[in-house]
Amino acid sequence: MSTFDAISEPLAQRLADGLSRLGAVARQIDWQAAEAEGLTPTQADILRFVASRPAGVRLAAAAGHAGVRSATASDAVTALQRKALVRKQSDASDGRAILLKATRDGQALAARWPASYAPVVAGLDADDQEAMLHLVMEMIRHLHRRNLIAPQRSCVTCKYFRENVAPGSGEPHRCAFVDAPMADRHLRVDCPEHVAAA
Amino acid sequence: MSTFDAISEPLAQRLADGLSRLGAVARQIDWQAAEAEGLTPTQADILRFVASRPAGVRLAAAAGHAGVRSATASDAVTALQRKALVRKQSDASDGRAILLKATRDGQALAARWPASYAPVVAGLDADDQEAMLHLVMEMIRHLHRRNLIAPQRSCVTCKYFRENVAPGSGEPHRCAFVDAPMADRHLRVDCPEHVAAA
DNA sequence: GGATTTTATTTAGGAGTCCTACTCATGAGC
DNA sequence: GCTCATGAGTAGGACTCCTAAATAAAATCC
């Protein structure tokens, strides 16, 4: 037992603090980008979510993605609609629901909107980014199990993901959908072909 | 070159997306905690910052820590003062400035306020947490160099930190302040003894 | 020493966030 | 058909977060 094991705050707490600091930076960058494009961070998050799903999404799904209540998401979508970036369609299969879809302008804006964590991620080289992606995916998987995060279309929760089927190789995982080997660096947070594991 | 290297979004972007998702979860948890204690996330962040520095901090320092403008920090501090969690002292050495200090109640609340990233971090075992802490510190160091983050009292920006002076050992780093060896798991985001490196 | 510039904080005004609570309409189950 | 659950929207309120401008006290320049 070294000196520091005795005198330090718990590892988990220091890690949580560090992530909080990075989050503060990302939020600040988000607000600066907001000014340039006329969107707020929540609006931008929802716009990108909607733009990534051309088939349309429910309001509640957008709220879950952004981590806000339906009422807040409704406000944000109203603002996006006013700016002609998103449109609402009634859902034929459910008269209560609406389908949100990005307009052409919305697609364009979503595509050029910078990821708020980009300058944060830029601090790591490719190997470290790969290692971090692996750890982040592990966190997402855990949160998913605990129902603390909205369903993600991530590899680690996908029916087609085969984890570590070729241990020791450079690409130990496999995606059974495209039937190809994968490394940690290939893991996706949001894959269009995702099918939830049973 | 495998299938996925060709068809995937860039690694950096997927990592940034993942961190955004984790941030959304943390923000949501923050708001839930806020309801229980009567604080908003920004207020809580500033309160913890003030509570960790008994000698008092400037308003601008608190704003930088939280990643908001001085005007916003001023609002939050006013709210904290109204709740008797923080008090303002005039700074004898600078008549323009104020010194923020936590009251007894403020100290107590800061101590029991949960870290918003706690459930996120809980998804990793100790080894993975250590690996992630190392990567997070690297990100903080990089942001610090780029002046994208307020000065942190972190080991990696400290005068007393000797990085990797004993390569290969279990505790390769050393803190020259307490003159003791350190491992990655001992790295601190916010150390009271921090002295900025030249 | 006095004028100018910079810095620290506050105030004002406005759009937006985010909550709870409530309403309204539709869908699902018995 | 009747009841209950669900998706979305509205209303009200505290707070966030911004810019811009005001105030006051350094710090700097000549």
Q: What is the pLDDT of residue A100?
A: 92
The answer on A128 and A108 residing in a single domain is no
The answer on B153 and B106 residing in a single domain is no
| Residue A81 · residue A87 · CB < 8 Å | yes
Domain boundary among B91, B112, B133: B112
Total residues belonging to chain B: 198
Q: Measured between alpha carbons, how far is A21 from B64 in angstroms, rounded to an integer? A: 11
> Has residue B148 been placed in a domain?
yes
In tens, the pLDDT along A121-177 reads 998 999 999 999 999 999 998 998 888 888 888 888 888 788 888 888 888 888 878
Q: How confident is the model at residue A1 (pLDDT cuts 50, 70, 90)?
A: low
Q: What is the pLDDT of residue A3?
A: 64
| Residue B133 · residue A18 · CB < 8 Å | yes
Q: How much is the average pLDDT of B56-63?
A: 90
Cβ distance of A65 and B148 shorter than 8 Å: no
In tens, the pLDDT along A3-34 reads 666 656 788 888 998 999 999 999 888 888 87
Percent above pLDDT 70 for chain B: 95
DSSP string, chain A: --HHHHHSPPHHHHHHHHHHHHHHHHHHHHHHHHHHHT--HHHHHHHHHHHT-TT-B-HHHHHHHHT--HHHHHHHHHHHHHTTSEEEEEETTEEEEEEEEE-HHHHHHHHHSPPTTHHHHTTS-HHHHHHHHHHHHHHHHHHHHTT-S-----GGGBTTEETTSSTTSSS-EEETTTTEEE-GGG--SS-TT--B--
> Could you give phi then psi for residue A146, rounded to 5 degrees?
-85, 0
Output the CA angle B9-B29-A52, nearest 5 degrees.
25
Find which of A8, A9, A17 to mutate to test the B interface (most B CBs within 10 Å of its CB): A17
Q: What is the pLDDT of residue A73?
A: 92
Which residue among B67, B132, B171 places its CB closest to the CB of A24? B67
Find which of A1, A2, A14 to mutate to test the B interface (most B CBs within 10 Å of its CB): A14
> Has residue B3 been placed in a domain?
no
> Has residue B197 been placed in a domain?
no
Total number of domains constituting chain B:
2
CA distance A158 to chain B (A): 16
Query: Rounded to 10 degrees, what is the CA torsion of A41, B124, B114, A188?
Result: 10
Q: Please tell me the least confidently modeled range out of A194-198, B24-28, B57-61, B71-75.
A: A194-198
> Has residue B63 been placed in a domain?
yes
The range of the structural domain enclosing residue A16 comes to: 11-112
| Cβ-based neighbour number of residue B123 at 10 Å | 22
User: Which uninterrupted H or E stretch holds B99?
Assistant: strand B98-102
Domain boundary among A112, A136, A158: A112
> Has residue B170 been placed in a domain?
yes
Report the CATH number that the domain containing residue B98 is assigned in CATH. 1.10.10.10
Cβ distance of A121 and B189 shorter than 8 Å: no
Q: How confident is the model at residue A198 (pLDDT cuts 50, 70, 90)?
A: low
In tens, the pLDDT along B172-190 reads 888 877 788 888 888 888 8
The answer on B85 and B166 residing in a single domain is no
The answer on B159 and B88 residing in a single domain is no
> Has residue B198 been placed in a domain?
no
Cβ distance of A14 and B187 shorter than 8 Å: yes
**Is this model's pTM higher than 0.75 or not?**
yes
The answer on A15 and A75 residing in a single domain is yes
The answer on B135 and B108 residing in a single domain is no
The answer on A85 and A165 residing in a single domain is no
The answer on A91 and A22 residing in a single domain is yes
The answer on A152 and A129 residing in a single domain is yes
Whether the pLDDT of residue B198 is over 70: the answer is no
CA distance B165 to chain A (A): 16
Domain boundary among A82, A112, A142: A112
> Has residue A135 been placed in a domain?
yes
Q: How confident is the model at residue A77 (pLDDT cuts 50, 70, 90)?
A: very high
Q: What is the pLDDT of residue B2?
A: 61
B16 vs A contacts (CB less than 8 Å): 115-118, 120-121
> Has residue A165 been placed in a domain?
yes
In tens, the pLDDT along B122-154 reads 989 999 999 999 999 999 989 988 888 888 888
The answer on B51 and B78 residing in a single domain is yes
The answer on A181 and A129 residing in a single domain is yes
Q: Measured between alpha carbons, how far is B18 from A140 in angstroms, rounded to an integer? A: 8
Cβ distance of B138 and A124 shorter than 8 Å: yes
